[in-house]
Amino acid sequence: MTENWLYDAHPAMFRSNPLLFILLLVSVIGIVGLGIWWIKSKGERLAVSESEILMERGILSKQRTQLALSSVRTVRITQSVFQRMMGVGNIEIFSAGDYAEIAIRGMPDPNLVRELAARRT
């Protein structure tokens, strides 16, 4: 069954940490660092559908965490000043326990995820 995802994104590289991006881009070793960073950011995914939230990690091997929107208790958004200027943030999603079931860093438009989760619960 194909889900109609309302939000589907990978962590933002440049907007998440522009100073590190520029520093790595300038240096020769930075090209390799940028490649590793790009692969790592493409290996993470957060998707929100009408009924669930899905987080995937990994390129070759996958770790998937799936959470029904009806069981979401809290969505915590953490943003530094630079993250706020760039429109990215860290997202933690809690359901029943004291530890986040889903935690992902550097996601674009984190408040959209919070709004989608609040609208569906």
Per-residue pLDDT of the chain (121 residues; tens, 9 = 90+): 567 888 888 888 778 888 888 887 777 777 888 888 899 999 999 999 989 999 999 999 999 999 999 999 999 999 999 999 999 999 999 998 889 999 999 999 999 999 998 886 5
pLDDT of the residue at 80:
93
The pLDDT value recorded for residue 61 is: 92
Here the tokens at position 74 are: 């809290």
- List residues bridging with 9 in a β-sheet: 46
Q: Residue 47 has what pLDDT?
A: 94
pLDDT at 14: 78
Cβ neighbors of 98 (< 8 A, separation 6 or more) are none
